[in-house]
Chain A
Amino acid sequence: MKRQTFLKGAIAAMALAAVPLAAAAQDTIKIGEINHYKRLAAFAGPYKQGIELALEEINGGGGVLGKPMEFIFRDDQGEPGEAIKIAEELVTREGVVMVTGTILSHVGLAISSHAAEKGYVYLAAEPLADAITWASGNKYTFRLRASTFMQAAMLAEQAAASGAKTYATIAPNYAYGKDAVAAFKENLLALQPDAEFVAEQWPALFKIDAGAEVQAIERAKPDAIYNVTFGPDLAKFVREGTDRGLFDGRTVLGLLSGEPEYLDPLGDEAPEGWIVTGYPWYDIQDGPGKTFVDAYQARWDDYPRIGSLVGYMTVQSIAAALEKAGSTETEAIRDAFEDLSLDTPMGPITFRALDHQATAGAYVGTTALQDGKGVMVDWEYKAGADYIPDDEYVKNLRPEGQ
């Protein structure tokens, strides 16, 4: 009896899975998009809206290769194992021509490995881990956003110019935080060999004990602080740090701290005078960057976050690659991505053939308070190409034969 019910259940589940979903019309080009829509709703929502805006624009203009483009959105619950299963389904059953998506780096790395094994193209849009294009890079994986290393290098340049000598770092205790601190150190020490790191704090991700961290940094009396915390951790760190006077008279550098996703929830308690990477959409006056902001606001009745921009650029990149490939064959798309150049709201970018990293840059500026909100002022767009180390360095990092 017991086994019987098991078998019934198992067979029913498999029968259900074997029934193809309503067979969609064959005349669209399908792209698989896997993301943590629920687990990281605050990031995935604007990202998806950016994708939808770009899709409407491209399909309104005739699509690519004469066909409309269609994205199939799937939720992986933030689990690498689930993401692989979905990728498998998208590729073998839904007939997608390539896969994109994920925010969390480890899920991106899992899909990347799967893409190389099964032979489909994966465009990692949001994940920042250096490993995606370097240590774990492979032939089929490309990355759009400026990596952790590149953004940290931009802040290291600012730090070197600030005249600070001693530094404290605070970063979440996981891969991204460690990469971000290592890259910052490496770049800063190259620019300013006498810089000294007097404290390194590693709070557990989203479990920061902010008061204690602030006290510990204060105790080291650094000239400057390099912050990698984000989300609720950043809010707590800023609040405790401001209350206890940690930031007074110190240079503070914040990786990603200027992105609307992280800066906006702080409201009128947003820190002032931090040098950050972010996205000052409110202050972009002209050019394609402005066109995008206007189109986004008109379409969604909401303002763009950095995720919106990344989603938009993801679709643009894929469309450009497909046009260049002239076909939807994997190898053709893969070849097309190498040295692919296109114009985006950020400016022109190129997917480097060497390591498959796009040269998208980041906006670097200083935080200030305006009308009770944190904003970036005196910002500048830094092109990504200037912050990628030389070719020899990159070649040594990438696995052989990739």
Chain B
Amino acid sequence: MGFYLAQVLTGLANAGALFMVASGLSLIFGVTRIVNFAHGSFYMIGAYIGYTLMQVLPGAVGFWGAIILAGVAVGLVGLVVEMLVLRPVYKAPELFQLVATFGVILVIQDLALLIWGPEDLLGPRAPGLRGVVRIMGEPIPKYDIALLVITPFVALGLWYLIARTRVGVLVRAATQDREMVGALGVNQAWLFSGVFALGTALAGLGGALQLPKGGADLLMDFNILTSVFVVVVIGGMGSLPGAYLAAVIISVVNVFGVTFLPQSTLVLIFVVMVLVLMIRPFGLFGREEVAGEHGQVGEPETPIHPAGPRVRLLVAVGLVILAMLPLYGSSFSLVLATDILIFCLFAASLHFLLGIGGLVSFGHAAYFGGGAYVAALLVTHANSPMELAFLLAPFGAGLAALIIGWICIRLTGVYFAMLTLAFAQLLWSLVFQWGEVTGGDDGLVNIWPSEWLKASTTFYIFTLIFTVGGILLMRHVAHSPFGYALRAARDSERRAEATGINTKRVRWMAFTLAGVMAGLAGGLFVFSKGSVFPNELEIARSFDALIVVFLGGVKTLAGGVVGGAFFKGVEEILTRFEYWRLALGLLIIFVVIVAPQGIVGTLRNMFRRHVKDET
């Protein structure tokens, strides 16, 4: 009995920092609709700043003072980030801001390394709270008890702020309908800045509070991000009580998972997440999204149309130039171009889903990595010839997309995104854990193409045919009746249904097609690299694709391809430098600010204005 109590208390103590970080993310999303990928980074600098302050401030007052000051300092950093980076892009298409927050992650990573150095820092102990108390004979660290007491107070304070003050009224109003709040004369800019600062301050507070249980290190930003997303989604985006309850559930489930299913540490929280979302699609306390449908902000878009003869000619010329690369390019340029083409196809497949279908997937890597694994598993375990394995890769990925899509399309918006993320993580943990079949972390190696394809030149041409073919096919589909139905479902679900379109099925098919294309890219990838590892299924890979689609321009047809080529090209050049993350992060932020419609969208607008001026 004492043992179970001790485990529950441990779980509750763990929930503390998690709740604070998650509530911050939840608040920010609720009001500003920004999915703040950089939230883990604010948590990390909270820990670092707290650590530094604890070195200079003496005693217990200094310790607790340092924690509060760390929260305030991080809130100020958040305020600066919001004003400099996010404010210029509120008018951009929905979710575009997450690209900017991705840039912030890179910048903060390099700055933290510069300021605090590469070595892990061990968190200072809370004065007077070293050691344990015994409850029913079981040792419980005193600091855990302190956390148990503090967290509900922070939660109550937040609840009071939101439920009982004028600021809280505005925040809740903005969460429900921010345009109405603006129309009623509330200064939205300051409301957004304030909420963003509050949210990041909570992340910083969480980071500083966990110091006595761990410390500060440079990997903690990404390490907490998934759990935080899971908590926010289970609790319901924008709901504080939900975040608290979810943090407790996740922490307690984890604690018992550790005891009774020690192998389950990777997969357990995602299983919980999938179960909760299948029963309560909007989380425990979440409400269906009222606002925030795709394409709400900004000027109405001009519908996409097939390319005219001039553009077609240019594309053809470009393709010829690409196809001739083996004649004038070096052997390495072929390898690089192969990489870029594969990535472009992957990005284009997500773009099809996101831009044409209006379905934001946070877990698209599942189908890219899935395709790669299907091919690699066939080669490794069935000794199947390369050609067969390659052809089956898109089918395998498509099948996965068919099944996962069937479950996910019942949701929309950000909940859809989160459920796709959960499934991608499930797949990742399956591959990671099932070492006997998938090789686990050691991956599958020696998956090389057949003899006739081994040369860089032939493989390049092979890749060119399949990637360009795939991209053109998706463009074609976008202009087919199916594509029109899909766009109708995106722009107005009700009207589409009224005209007899089965929007769910159309979306389901689009999801599957995107999966097939991502799987094709994955199949090409595994044979170009000769090996595959679980990181091709990771969140980071999904984010890569998401970033380039937004960077290229969601509301354009070529966005994914251009974004992919731009990102890979820039990355190729910048990673040669020492502080490449800083440079890449700043570049992304710069592009986001000058081109809030994405690269293609902004160029197109400039071109149109230019044409207008001339006529």
Chain B residue at minimal CB-CB distance from A105: B442
Stretch at the interface among A86-94, A185-193, A339-347, A383-391: A86-94
Stretch at the interface among A5-13, A149-157, A287-295: A5-13
With a 10 A CB-CB cut-off, give which of B254, B315, B565 has the most chain A CB atoms: B565
Chain A residue at minimal CB-CB distance from B442: A175
Stretch at the interface among B54-62, B161-169, B255-263, B271-279: B255-263
Chain B residue at minimal CB-CB distance from A39: B219
Residues of A within 8 A of B330 (CB): 18, 20, 92-93
Decide: A116 and B446 in contact? CB cutoff 8 A.
yes
Decide: B558 and A3 in contact? CB cutoff 8 A.
yes
With a 10 A CB-CB cut-off, give which of B11, B307, B321, B441 has the most chain A CB atoms: B441
Q: A1-B311, A4-B311 are in contact. Are A89 and B530 (CB under 8 A)?
A: no
Q: 17 A-B pairs, CB-CB below 8 angstroms?
A: A2-B556, A10-B318, A17-B332, A17-B337, A42-B118, A42-B119, A74-B576, A93-B330, A109-B445, A110-B531, A113-B531, A117-B446, A173-B432, A176-B441, A211-B144, A236-B215, A269-B122
Any A CB within 8 A of the CB of B149 = no
Any A CB within 8 A of the CB of B121 = yes
What is the bound-complex CA distance between A199 and B119, given in angstroms? 31
Residues of A within 8 A of B214 (CB): 210, 232, 235-236, 239
Decide: A212 and B119 in contact? CB cutoff 8 A.
no
A203-227: CB near B (< 8 Å → 1, else 0) gives 1101101111101100100000000
Decide: B440 and A174 in contact? CB cutoff 8 A.
yes
Q: A109-B442, A110-B533 are in contact. Are A212 and B10 (CB under 8 A)?
A: yes
Decide: A136 and B445 in contact? CB cutoff 8 A.
yes
What is the bound-complex CA distance between A41 and B113, given in angstroms? 8
Residues of A within 8 A of B533 (CB): 80, 106, 109-110
Decide: A206 and B558 in contact? CB cutoff 8 A.
no
Any A CB within 8 A of the CB of B581 = yes
Stretch at the interface among A25-33, A259-267, A350-358, A362-370: A259-267
Residues of A within 8 A of B442 (CB): 105-106, 109, 129, 131, 136, 175
A327-347: CB near B (< 8 Å → 1, else 0) gives 000000000000000000000
Where chain B touches its partner, the secondary structure class is: helix
Q: A80-B533, A231-B120 are in contact. Are A203 and B258 (CB under 8 A)?
A: yes
Q: Of A18, A129, A174, A212, which one neighbours B7 at CB under 8 angstroms?
A: A212
- The 8 lowest CB-CB distance pairs between A and B, nearest first, are A13-B569, A7-B318, A2-B558, A41-B118, A175-B441, A211-B10, A42-B118, A113-B445
A65-76: CB near B (< 8 Å → 1, else 0) gives 000000000110
Residues of B within 8 A of A316 (CB): none
What is the bound-complex CA distance between A42 and B112, given in angstroms? 13
Any A CB within 8 A of the CB of B458 = no
Any B CB within 8 A of the CB of A245 = yes
Decide: A265 and B443 in contact? CB cutoff 8 A.
no
Any B CB within 8 A of the CB of A326 = no
A231 to chain B, nearest CB (A): 6
Query: Given A109-B445, A211-B10, A216-B259, list of 14 further CB < 8 A pairs?
Result: A2-B307, A3-B315, A5-B558, A9-B562, A14-B336, A17-B332, A92-B332, A131-B442, A202-B262, A212-B258, A213-B258, A215-B6, A232-B215, A265-B215
Decide: A2 and B604 in contact? CB cutoff 8 A.
yes
Q: Of B259, B321, B531, B556, which one neighbours A109 at CB under 8 angstroms?
A: B531
Chain B residue at minimal CB-CB distance from A261: B119
Residues of B within 8 A of A11 (CB): 318, 321
Any A CB within 8 A of the CB of B220 = yes
Decide: B265 and A239 in contact? CB cutoff 8 A.
no
What is the bound-complex CA distance between A53 and B217, given in angstroms? 27
Any A CB within 8 A of the CB of B127 = no
What is the bound-complex CA distance between A1 and B216, given in angstroms? 48
